[in-house]
Amino acid sequence: MALDWIPRAPKDKKVSHRLYREDLLEKKEPPRTVYEKRPLLDPEGNPVEGLYVAWVILDNPAQYNSYTLEMLAGAASAFEKAQRDPSVVGVVFTGAGDRALCTGGNVPEYAEYYCHRPLDCQEYMSIYWLAFDAVWHSSKPFIRRVNGMSIGGGEEISGVCDLTIAADTATFGQVGPRHGSTAMGGACQFKSVNMTIEDAFWNAISCEQWSAYKMYRKNYIHKVVPVLKKDGQFIRNPMVITDKYIQDGEIVYGEFKSKELGYSAEEIEEAREMVRNLPKDFSLLDKACNDIMWTFANLYPQQVAVSLSLIRSQKRIAYERTKEEIVWWWAANALPYGEFDMGMTAFNTSKITGKRDADVIKLRQMIAQGHPYDEELFEAVMPKPKK
């Protein structure tokens, strides 16, 4: 069958990969990146005159704050703007709303524009690097405020931050190998620094999602705070085991409740309904971010800057070791009928086909028979439009 049902950008479309564009921070509507200067607060919640915290907010809640090219460039510009403002003592990086910090790159943009455009993929990575470099060259602390899902490239671009404070409803994980990509934008590099290498292998490749408490247990994040309220009181995420550490000789703290761990279907569904329906209050999350900023603000700024630079170097070295080949790989991966094209197009056309994934087993079978990556293979493994 013909492939003209697949949405693609016009062949004459060209996007701008210009660097450091503060005009992107002035957009009035999503998708956008928002830059806000909020007063530094003392422990009593009083504003400190003349000192601020820069809040950089990915604002695209309709798509779980997935970042478009302009949002990515906006984040890099916002990070740089915060660094150049002497009244800013630190940066909080977060997402709009209560469901996600960020779920990665914008799939429609990837599937419809960047697939089949390898040279544009090279340009895209230059913007991505700018965001990282703006953090690594900054003299100010960066806090990742995780208000919900931190998935795929969203976990990676925010993973460059120095400390992570997470709502206990947040989830973390990678999705690249399931959708034709690789967690090469920070996860494969940073997680082998933060975690044991075996945890890094599994978390970055398996596409398994972990709770905030499990990520805390694995030394990946700094602090977890509750956000759900029942009868006016904060409660811990009922979908996650937090009231015990060991069960039958296994560590279960931070694991999602499951039948395998002894929870009934009714208990699991009840917990799920509570998470869906209970009100959320992010005041403890905001307070934790403010408390950290207050601590740093009371330390000599040059000493904070040097300390940050020295410790950041571990993650930076891990990334720099692989940075150059990444851009060429991503460009090659975007060629027509390759795995990136399959994965992103399948996800992007799920409303047309009813399926999010290509048939990877069939792909492997055809490759084992010597079939090349071409249009015939692409068509064979892709979901078909619903009749």
pLDDT in tens, 344-359: 999 999 999 999 999 9
Measured CA to CA, the distance from residue 178 to residue 208 in angstroms comes to: 10
- The β-bridge relationship of strands 223-225 and 163-167 is parallel
The rounded percent of the chain whose pLDDT value lies above 90 is: 92
Count Cβ atoms below 10 Å from residue 320 Cβ, excluding itself: 14
- pTM here is 0.93
Select from 153, 112, 122, 111 the least CA-distant residue to 330. 122
Tell me the per-residue pLDDT of 94-107, one tens digit each, with 9 for 90 and over.
999 999 999 999 99
> Cα 263 to chain center, whole Å?
30
The rounded percent of the chain whose pLDDT value lies above 70 is: 98
Assign 145 a pLDDT band (cuts: 50, 70, 90): very high
Assign 7 a pLDDT band (cuts: 50, 70, 90): confident
- From residue 183, how far is each of 127, 186, 321 by CA, in Å? 17, 7, 15
Q: DSSP H helical segments within the chain, as ranges?
A: 69-83, 107-109, 118-136, 153-159, 187-194, 197-205, 212-217, 265-277, 283-297, 301-333, 339-348, 350-353, 360-368, 375-381
Tell me the per-residue pLDDT of 297-306, one tens digit each, with 9 for 90 and over.
999 999 999 9
Tell me the per-residue pLDDT of 41-73, one tens digit each, with 9 for 90 and over.
999 999 999 999 999 999 999 999 999 999 999
Tell me the per-residue pLDDT of 276-301, one tens digit each, with 9 for 90 and over.
999 999 999 999 999 999 999 999 99
pLDDT recorded at residue 5: 82
Q: Give yes or no for residue 136 having a pLDDT over 90.
A: yes
Tell me the per-residue pLDDT of 215-253, one tens digit each, with 9 for 90 and over.
999 999 999 999 999 999 999 999 999 999 999 999 999
pLDDT recorded at residue 14: 74
Tell me the per-residue pLDDT of 19-28, one tens digit each, with 9 for 90 and over.
668 888 999 9
> Could you tell me the domains of the chain?
1-227+282-387 (3.90.226.10), 229-279 (no CATH)
pLDDT recorded at residue 1: 53
pLDDT recorded at residue 22: 82
pLDDT recorded at residue 18: 59
Count Cβ atoms below 10 Å from residue 374 Cβ, excluding itself: 12
Tell me the per-residue pLDDT of 324-348, one tens digit each, with 9 for 90 and over.
889 999 999 999 999 999 999 999 9
pLDDT recorded at residue 19: 62
pLDDT recorded at residue 87: 98
Mean pLDDT on 88-95: 99
Measured CA to CA, the distance from residue 103 to residue 99 in angstroms comes to: 10
Given a contact cutoff of 8 angstroms between Cβ atoms, the answer to whether 259 and 265 are in contact is yes
Tell me the per-residue pLDDT of 157-187, one tens digit each, with 9 for 90 and over.
999 999 999 999 999 999 999 999 999 999 9
Mean pLDDT, the chain, as a whole number?
Answer: 96
